[in-house]
Each structure stands twice: as C-alpha cells, then as structure tokens.
Amino acid sequence: MKKVVLTVLLVAALSSVAMASPLNDFSKGKASLDINYRSNADFDVNPGINGLGKLGDIAFDSNSNLEWGFTYGVGNNWALQYRQATPKGTLGLFNATSTQRELTKISSDGITAINVNLEAKTKVEEYNILYKMDKNFTAFTGLVKASPSVKLGVGIDPYGSGDLAIVGHDKNIWQFGLQAVAPIADKFTGYGIVGFGKDYRNLEAGVGYEVSKDIELNVNYRDMKIKNMSMVGLNIPKLEIGDVTSDVHQKGFGFGLAYKF
C-alpha cells in the first residue's frame, strides 16, 4: 500500500498536481533549512557474507530518526546542498524475567531480568550540486556517504548493562537524480525526488502547507535502500569468503518543517 501511495505522489508531483517543497529559488544567497522527523518507518536489514550470499531481510523495530538538510543558492540556476539521515532500528534477541523458565536456575543469585538486543543504524550524508532546468524540474548529482554500525546491548538486572559496538566501513556512492516541484493551490506546493547510484536508491514525495512567507510544514514519504555495505573485513581465499556485508531498507512517512530565507 505504501508503494502505491509513493507512486501516486511522485506522478502527481511530476504532472503539477502535487504536494511539499524544497528550495526552488537558486538566486545567490537564497537558502533553506529543512528538518524532518521520521517515526515508525519500516527498517529492514539484510546481512550477508561475500561468497556465501545473503541471509534474508530481518525486520527491526524502527527507532525515530531526525533528518535535516541545508540548500544554498549560488546563482545562475545553481545550488549546493547537504542532507543527513540516520535510519535505525532495534531487534530484541532475548528478554526474560525471574518468573520465566529461562531464569529459574539463576534467579536465586539475585538476577531478576536479562535483556539482549541488537541496534543497527546507518548514517547517510549527501553532498549535492543542483541545477534548475526550469520552474518545475531540477537535476542534481553528488556524493552519498553511508556509514553503517551495529550495537549489541546486554542488560542484567540488578547488575547493570553494557554494549559492544561494531562500526562498519564508509561506503561512498555517486548519485544522479531529478527533483520536481509544483504549486497546486493557494499555499500548497508539492515535490518528488528520485535519486539513484550503484547500490543506492532513494524516492521521496510529500505534501506541504505554507504557514508564512518563510516557513512550510509538510508530511512526506521516503523509500531508501543501500546495499553491500562492508561491516567486517574478512579474507579467506581458499574458501572464497570475503567481507561481512549489510543491506538496509527504510520506508515510511515523516513530518517536517522548512525555513527558507
């Protein structure tokens, strides 16, 4: 259903019957600060080992994610842009209290609960150059830097808790994309964004309302996938085994504010 909604929003934006709005005035000195809160988005992780294949998608419980971006016009229809998002989620591996069978043999030692969980997240940064082709369409290209990490958390009540973190290797991806902006009615504007690169795909669309000359509120949808990020380096030539890798896929609705000045 969410894919259907995203497709409708994108088609509407590209056909000037749409919805939220990135900066569309690239005059020198014009700028926009965009802040977006994304909660309860689907977050799937697909781990694998090069040479052995993927294990399959694992659905994590999504954590809230604050996204933000800054766009600055440099004149002659050109602009520079930075965007950042950190999709993440938590997977419960073990949860037991002293009333459950798992702890009956050790509860006499004073342990009342044991919790083990795994948190996965990927910091995604974009460094883009934008060119406004006409009043509705902007082409862009730039570097996407994806930085994956995982954290294993263990809590033993009443003795405390601890974490073991693994930070993966940065993955640099060159992307190309198109942004469409279209007014639809008084104080309403819409957009659609499509970006692609090797092992990377990002689709966005939204609907926004102009609160004042400089401020817009919006609701939006994002579907982003990053593949083959290296988590742990391995090299076993005789077994043809390489790095431990991770794919992540986030999709869901968000709510944002854009301040243009």
Q: How far is 170 from 122, CA to CA, in rounded Å?
A: 10
Q: What is the 3-state secondary structure (H, E, C) of 164-198?
A: EEEECCCEEEEEEEEEEEEEEECCEEEEEEEEEEC
| Mean pLDDT of the chain, nearest integer | 83
CB 192, CB 179: distance < 8 Å:
yes
Looking at residue 17, its pLDDT comes to 33
- Is 234 in contact with 244 (CB distance < 8 Å)? yes
The per-residue pLDDT for range 67-97, each reduced to its tens digit, is 999 999 999 999 999 999 999 999 887 777 6
Query: To the nearest 5 percent, what fractions of the chain are helix, strand and coil?
Result: 10, 65, 25
Domain residue spans in the chain? 2-88+122-148+168-260
Q: If residue 93 lies in a helix (H) or strand (E), which one and from where to where?
A: strand 88-97
Gap between the Cα atoms of 220 and 98, Å rounded: 44
Can you tell me the distance from the alpha carbon of 189 to that of 178, in angstroms, rounded to the nearest whole number? Answer: 17
Superfamily of domain 2-88+122-148+168-260: OMPT-like (2.40.128.90)
Least confident segment among 11-15, 48-52, 130-134, 221-225: 11-15
Looking at the predicted structure, is the pLDDT value of residue 103 above 60?
no
Tokens linked to 18? 């749409």
Q: What is the pLDDT of residues 225-259, one digit of tens each?
A: 999 999 876 566 555 566 788 999 999 999 999 99
Query: Does pLDDT of 9 surpass 50?
Result: no
pLDDT of the residue at 100: 59
